[in-house]
């Protein structure tokens, strides 16, 4: 992968072409985003409850099942037969959204709860990717 050695800033009015010089990285995006290939999957964020943490509707989530969740990690879980992306409060056994208009959800013994993995990163597409849309329900 080629890496252009600049920091792009909004509002910049002009600059020398960054493509004139570039560095060759010996990494792919897989290597940058995925630590455990055998336990990592891609999900698609839906809804607006995680916008406060920068996860928007349609963002790609990189989720790792091998990572042990820590208090207040962003996770993907199956909660009562619904896949959710939330912050997990391990001390209070709650699922938290990143917006004030969403109430915390208690995880009780009566709930069907299965942690699917820890969200390692989110990727935002600025153009629709038809190949990604084919693999998502």
φ, ψ (nearest 5 deg) of residue 89: -100, 100
SS3 136: coil
User: Is 49 designated active site?
Assistant: yes
From the list 7, 17, 81, 86, the catalytic residue is 86
User: Is 86 designated active site?
Assistant: yes
From the list 49, 97, 108, 121, the catalytic residue is 49
Inter-CA distances, 91 with 1, 66, 107, 134, Å: 42, 21, 11, 39
Inter-CA distances, 67 with 6, 10, 88, 110, 137, Å: 32, 35, 14, 26, 25
Active-site positions?
49, 86
């Amino acid at each position: 992968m080629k890496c252009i050695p600049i920091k792009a800033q909004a509002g910049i009015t002009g600059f020398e072409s960054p493509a004139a010089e570039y560095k060759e990285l010996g990494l792919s995006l897989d290597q940058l985003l995925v630590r455990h290939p055998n336990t990592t999957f891609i999900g698609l964020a839906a809804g607006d409850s995680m916008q406060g943490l920068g996860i928007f509707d349609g963002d790609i989530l990189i989720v790792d099942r091998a990572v042990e969740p820590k208090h207040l990690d962003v996770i993907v879980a199956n909660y009562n037969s619904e896949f959710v992306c939330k912050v997990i409060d391990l001390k209070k056994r709650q699922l938290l959204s990143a917006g004030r208009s969403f109430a915390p959800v208690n995880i009780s013994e009566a709930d069907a709860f299965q942690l699917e993995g820890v969200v390692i990163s989110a990727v935002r597409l600025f153009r629709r990717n038809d190949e990604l849309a084919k693999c998502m329900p």
